[in-house]
Structure 1
Amino acid sequence: MTAIQLPKAVQELLENNKKQTTDREELIRSGGYLPPSEELLIDAIVALSMGKNILLKGPTGAGKTKFAETLSSLFERPMYSVNCSVDLDAESLMGFKTLAYEEEKQTIQFVPGPVTNAMKQGTFLYIDEINMAKPETLPLINGVLDYRRTITNPFTNEIVTAVEGFGVIAAINEGYIGTVPLNEALKNRFIVIDVPYIQGEQLEQLIADTTNLADKQLIERFVTLSNDLITAVSQGKLAEDAASIRALLDACDLSTYLPPKRAILRSIVDKLDEDREKAFVENLADTLF
């Protein structure tokens, strides 16, 4: 696989061991995601720079998409996205044919899809919830994910070979309804990076940087709420959705205009299915707010 040339800022992040931690965090934060540990970012950068594909694995709302966007920003490369579902087909990946007019004559043109665009332009391809796709769909891009970096477009018969700079980032939520286990042939094409929830001081910083909430005391209480929710999920008392960092950030935003408990109700509680879980989260909110 072709290695990706690293931008100067990323080279400094990897090579300059004397660089201050605060400077590194500022660089990371500029991409919108502050990972739970710097090793996660370093490992992802090293894998992508060597031409490897990476698979971000973790609970919903842990920041996998933001992680991918940050990597795209650090490498200074745009990112085409594929959102997987049971309806994903070859056209969703490669593109489709459509009628067009040239000098008043009707012609058939091919509109390239995200895989084709990313390969030809040398950008990143982000495949979200890759285990939501039907097992028979993804083998189409096996050649894209291995050393060949090549695919035959089934609609044009064109052989597409990725240009320098092309890289693949995928994300997976395991154990959800509608997901299927990745087959070994597909999984073996990725370097797997486990993305846990952001907690503690890093979550405080994320709330301060990405939401309208400025009240330090409220921010600290939301961080405590997040920790309690994560603990409850690990104990099997709540579904993973309850501890979504994305939902927590929504609650923080709403709490700048609404009472915190009502913000939590709209952003977290009402998304849960079981009354028992709703009551549990409401009780946590009552103790903190």
Structure 2
Amino acid sequence: MNVDRRRETPLARRGAPRFIADRTHLVEDAETALRLGKHVLLRGPTGSGKTRLAEALADRLQLDMESVNCSVDLDLEALLGHRTLGISEGRTVVEYVEGPVIRAMRLGRMLYIDELNVARPEVLPILHGALDHRRQLTNPLTAEVVVAHPNFCVIAAINEGYAGTSALNEALLNRFVVFDVPYVQGEALAQLIREASALSNADHVERFVRLSADLVRASEIGELPVEAASVRALLDACDLSAHMPPLRAIRYAIAGKLSDPREQDLVLELASSYFRGE
């Protein structure tokens, strides 16, 4: 990959915090894979920072990003574009509007595909040619053969074991290099809280780190669903706790996202051991 363009990236413009991982080699190794022309699959639980990692990699490679959020309703038009009516020289004409896959291939951008394993399997084979050595696809909407720019690369993300997801077929999976993105913990999590939330109370930061470890353990043994351990939800709670008592913040940002009252009670019970009386 020949990436030498200098520009102000969306990540830098909005001042988003950098991706922080327990395993310091994760970012560097994923970047190496992309620079070698590989496509990357990020595998991890919801709220573990997969999207932030993709943004950080786009920033390091100085590439604009096109995004696709997969759902069961995803179709070829959402990937490749659509036809619409326009006006040219006073006449109504049919125009083609490029989709994110075509724009990324043509302009040499990073394509980020979130929740790849939620999409219907019959939609995804259109990407096979773009993801292998051919680096091209035939657009069925225009009959054009689109050849990828040298900078074009793909990062996809999946949450395994969630309702509505399915296993990726071998042909698609083999087109990626796979990186696991676990929940960040310990000092790395404390650093993330300090950088990415409004919470400045050092003692409370440490307590939230310990609470996160309890939530992760509870999710690993099945007492809580995986989403209860989401770092994204924890950061929401940290933001709120800068302006209200931590237990209320945890009720809104973490417990409130769970549908089972017993799970909500467990989250608050764990939190109470750290923030009772606050």
TM-score by length of 1: 0.90
SS of the equivalent of 1:202 reads helix
In structure 2, what is the equivalent of residue 276 of structure 1?
262
Matched, 1:125 2:111: yes
The code of the aligned residue for 1:269 comes to A
Write the distance in 1 (CA, Å) between the matches of 2:4 and 2:88. Answer: 41
AA aligned opposite 2:56: T
Deviations 1:137-166, CA, capped at 9 Å, x for gaps? 001111111111101111111110001100
Residue 250 (structure 1) aligned with residue 248 (structure 2)? no
* Distance (whole Å) between structure 2 residues aligned to residue 258 and residue 181 of structure 1: 42
Aligned: 1:87 with 2:85:
no
Structure 1 gaps, min length 5: 9-28
Residue pair 2:107, 2:149 contacting (<8 A) in 1 also: yes
Paired residue secondary structure (1:87): coil
Of 238, 248, 253, which aligns to 2:224?
238
**SS of 1:170's equivalent?**
strand
- The match for 1:69 among 49, 52, 55 is 55
Map Cα deviations across residues 203-255 of structure 1 (whole Å, 9 max, x no partner): 11111111111110111111111011011111111100000000000000011
**Residue type of the alignment partner of 1:253:** D
Seq. identity, %: 51
Q: Report the CA distance shift for 1:269/1:30 in structure 2 as closer, same or farther (over 3 A).
A: closer
Q: Secondary structure at the match of 1:47?
A: helix
Q: Distance in 2 between matches of 1:213 and 1:7?
A: 36
Does structure 1 retain, via aligned residues, the 8 Å contact 2:130–2:136?
A: yes
- 1:6–1:49 Cα contact (<8 Å) kept: no
Asked if structure 1 preserves the Cα contact closer than 8 Å seen for 2:70 and 2:119, the reply is yes
For the 8 Å contact 2:17–2:196, the answer to whether it is kept is no
- Contact 2:17-2:195 at 8 Å conserved across structures: no
The offset of 1:273, in angstroms, is 1.7
Q: What is the 5 A alignment of 1:1-12?
A: 3-5=1-3
Q: Once superposed, which parts of structure 1, at least 4 consecutive aligned residues long, lie more than 3 Å away? A: 4-8
1:101 partnered with 2:99: no
Shift of 1:256: 1.1
2:27 is aligned with what amino acid?
A: L
What SS does the aligned partner of 2:30 have? helix
Q: Does 1:219 align with 2:205?
A: yes
1:30 CA drift (Å): 7.6
Q: For residue 149 of structure 2, what is the amino acid of its counterpart?
A: V
Q: Give CA deviations for 1:47-77 in whole Å, capped at 9, x if unaligned.
A: 1001101000011100000000000001110
3-state SS in 1 of match to 2:96: strand
- Is the CA contact 1:54–1:193 (under 8 Å) kept in the aligned structure 2? yes
* Mapped contact 1:233–1:240 kept (Cα < 8 A): yes
Map of 1:11 onto structure 2: none
Name structure 2 gaps, 5 residues minimum: 7-14
Match of 2:156 among 166, 170, 173: 170
1:197 to 183, 198, 206: 183
2: CA distance between counterparts of 1:212 and 1:282? 21
- Provide the C-alpha distance between the structure 2 equivalents of 1:221 and 1:151, rounded to a whole number of angstroms: 51
- Counterpart residue identity of residue 221, structure 1: R
Separation in 2 of the partners of 1:147 and 1:284? Answer: 50
Distance 1:276 1:223 in 2: 23
* Matching residue of 1:24: none
The structural deviation recorded for 1:276 is 1.8
Tell me the equivalent position of 2:124.
138
Tell me how far 1:193 sits from its aligned partner.
0.1
Contact 1:80 1:114 in 2 (8 A): yes
Whether contact under 8 Å (1:4, 1:51) holds in the other structure is: no
Could you tell me which residue of structure 1 aligns to residue 100 of structure 2?
Answer: 114
**Is the alpha carbon distance of 1:47 and 1:31 closer, same or farther for their aligned partners in structure 2, counting shifts above 3 Å?**
farther
